[in-house]
Amino acid sequence: MNKIVYLDNNATTKTDNGVLEEMLKYFGEEYGNASSQYTLGMNARETIENARSKIAGILNCMPKEIFFTGCGTESDNIAIAGTARRYKNKGNHIITSAIEHHAVLETVKRLGKEGFEWSIANVKENGIVDLDHLKSLIKPTTVIISVMYANNETGAIQPIHEISTICREKGIYFHTDAVQAAGKLTLNTKELGVDMMTLSGHKFHAPKGIGILFKRNGVNVVPLTYGGHHEQSVRPGTENVPYIAGIAKALEIAVNDMEKHVAHIAPLKEKLKRRILSEIEKSTLNTPDESVCNTLNVSFSGLEGESMLLSLDEYGIEVSTGSACSSGSLEPSHVILAMGRDHLTAHGSIRFSLSKYTTEEEIDYTVDRLKEVIERIRRISPYK
């Protein structure tokens, strides 16, 4: 097999051809600025508002509750820092979980430097937030809780509905980072009961550099940047019309075809899991049963994730050893450590993340090559 076997779809995804096609005309003849008063500008405005309405329909909210941003990181920052700063007179305490993406954890730490207090909810061994611990952290001053919907490293699905119920009872704002949930789980904001929700286009076959923030009407934020009145001044800056059209199309495909895609991907993940656990010695699962259909995280005892990653790359197989943002550093994954695994186990973890484009042949090829790679590394490893 001479092609790339791409199993790193939690890092980013291939832009869907239908999405690319949808965007092209906004790089071509329809290049207007949506703030301009003439036809070209009004066309751009119409494109943006149509995209917003389409997304609002999918998320079961009002169009004015949808904000376009530059990425998931930016949506997380606006939601958490924006809310905390806006309501700091109400309370200065923030709660998040130990397995969040750095886009959330670093934002919370930054707020700590501004005088906010923060607490981190533990996860259980299976990587799912410990609700009793989370509840015990709530104080009268807690103003916002941010817990992700699906974890990017293990795929573990978090009890969002339960957390939103707790938040509503206590009058606390609730944000969820749903970046890894799009196309895999329901995004119905009313059913989930969330006040704010983050999505990122490049995780569901739109391009990189476009994000969505759902912000319930009535929740106010201090913006991160200042400028014109774009996006209700929550996110000023000339709107990226092609990418906005693209993310709306991508979300429509992801949600409309979700059942079909899950039915394709889930059995492939099951096969990958079954073959690895039965054919490769000393392999242990870091992904619980309650996980999104595309993510499988496995630790191979005594091995370095980095060396497996590089060896697999020689065969054209692309996987990850943690979140993309932290690979390059040799720090073990904070997510795997938070689940109570030791440093060696965390170091030996590999994340496989599948997509609608993954084939059974690719899964078999991956396991066959992985067996060779591990056998070779174990033969020369001092740890065994």
Give the active site residues. Answer: 325
Instruction: Kindly tell me which residue out of 47, 97, 152, 349 binds ligand PLP, with binding defined by CB under 6 A.
Output: 152
Piece in contact with ligand PLP (CB under 6 A), picked from 45-53, 67-75, 131-139, 269-277: 67-75
From 179, 245, 248, 338, residue interacting with ligand PLP (rule: CB under 6 A): 179
Q: Closer CB to ligand PLP, residue 200 or residue 321?
A: 200
Alpha helices in 60-138 (DSSP H): 72-86, 102-113, 131-137
Strand 142-146 and strand 173-177: the pairing is parallel
Angstrom distance (rounded) from CA 173 to CA 267: 37
Nearest CB to ligand PLP, comparing residues 192 and 303 = 192
Please state, in angstroms and rounded to a whole number, the distance separating the CA atoms of residues 35 and 13: 31
Least spacing, CB of residue 186 vs ligand PLP, in Å: 17
Nearer Cβ to ligand PLP (215/369) = 215
Distance, CA of 73 to CA of 52 (rounded, Å): 20
Question: What does residue 336 show for φ and ψ, rounded to 5 degrees?
Answer: -65, -40
- Nearest residue (CB) to ligand PLP, 179 versus 370: 179
3-state class (DSSP) for residue 237: coil
Give the span between the Cα atoms of 57 and 74, in whole angstroms.
Answer: 23
Per this entry, what is the length of the chain?
384
Stretch that binds ligand PLP, among 27-35, 66-74, 224-232, 365-373 (CB under 6 A): 66-74
- Of the pair 176, 299, the CB lying nearest ligand PLP is at 176
Taking CB under 6 A as the rule, does residue 148 contact ligand PLP?
Answer: yes
* Nearest residue to 379 (alpha-carbon basis) of 281, 272, 276, 275: 281
Residues 74-93, one symbol each (x = binds ligand PLP by CB under 6 A, - = not), give: --x-----------------
Q: Does 72 bind ligand PLP (CB under 6 A)?
A: yes
Residue 134 CA: distances (Å) to CA of 150, 167, 174, 374: 17, 11, 13, 39
Binds ligand PLP by CB under 6 A, chosen from 54, 93, 101, 347: 101
Task: Summarize as ranges the residues that interact with ligand PLP (CB under 6 A).
Answer: 71-73, 76, 101, 103, 148, 152, 177, 179-180, 200, 211, 323-324
